[in-house]
Each structure stands twice: as C-alpha cells, then as structure tokens.
C-alpha cells in the first residue's frame, strides 16, 4: 500500500483531501504544519507528500520540499505543492525546490487523483 502524507494547515482542506484519497488504496498520514510534516516524512517515509506552500510556523512548504529532496533517505519521495498562488514565479520557486508537481487551489478531486496516480506510476 502506498503512503501519502498530507501537510496542510487548514483542517477543512486536509479533510477534503483525505476524503478524496480514502476511495483509493492509500495509507494516509496528516500534519498541520511544516515542521511536523517534515518530522512525519522522516518517520513514515511516504511515497508522496501533498504539501501546502503557505503555512504558518518555522517552515513553509517550499522549505519542507527542499529538505525532503535534500535528504538522501527521502529524495525519492514525490512532492506535490498545493497553493493558491499560480503565478509563473511561484511555479518557478516550486521547480527550484525540486517539487514533482504543482497544483493551484482550488483543484478538483479528479485532478488531485490523476496527479497522484501519474506520479505513483512513475515511481
């Protein structure tokens, strides 16, 4: 079973993502901020992380992505950045942190599932 870690500070968005993924065969883990998300990634070794970019606290999503991709034990993990910012420079920042995909909120549940399935198939 593939492991997915949802790192999102908004409880309603986390719940929506979890409900979307519960119809698929995934082991789902959740974190409400970047620092906890990074420690969860190190602990559960997910196959994929759905990572909000703008989060309060010491680490935002871009910093978490960079740390995951820089960690030899985690660099294989696929990272999908989730953000309300869809400008070209925002996408470029995600690419610079080596994110595998970038979804702009609001995204459809179907778009989320298709993105996850494509990345998991490539893993």
Q: How far apart are CA 51 and CA 30, in angstroms?
A: 10
Q: The domain that contains 78 carries what CATH number?
A: 3.40.50.2300
**Closest to 27 measured CA to CA, from 48, 53, 52, 51:** 48
pLDDT digits (tens, 9 = 90+) for 60-103: 999 999 999 999 999 999 999 999 887 878 888 888 999 999 99
Looking at the whole model, is its pTM more than 0.85? yes
**Phi-psi category of residue 57: left, alpha or beta, with phi > 0 → left and psi -120 to 50 → alpha:** left
Residue 101: count of CB within 10 angstroms of its CB: 16
pLDDT band at 17 (very low <50, low <70, confident <90, very high): very high
Burial class of residue 87 in the structure, from the number of CB atoms within 10 Å of its CB (0-12 exposed, 13-18 middle, 19+ buried): exposed
Find the domain containing 10 and state its range. 2-112
Number of domains in the chain: 1
Residue 80 lies in a domain: yes
């Amino acid at each position: 079973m593939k492991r997915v870690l949802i790192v999102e500070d908004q409880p309603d968005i986390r719940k929506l993502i979890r409900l979307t993924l519960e119809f698929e065969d995934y082991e789902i883990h959740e974190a409400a901020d970047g620092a906890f998300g990074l420690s969860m990634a190190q602990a559960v070794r997910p196959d994929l992380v759905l990572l909000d970019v703008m989060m309060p606290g010491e680490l935002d999503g871009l910093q978490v992505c960079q740390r995951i991709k820089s960690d030899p034990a985690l660099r294989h993990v696929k990272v999908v950045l989730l953000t309300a910012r869809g400008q070209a420079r925002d996408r470029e920042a995600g690419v610079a942190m080596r994110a595998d995909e970038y979804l702009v909120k609001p995204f459809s549940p179907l778009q989320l599932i298709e993105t996850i399935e494509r990345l998991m198939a490539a893993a």
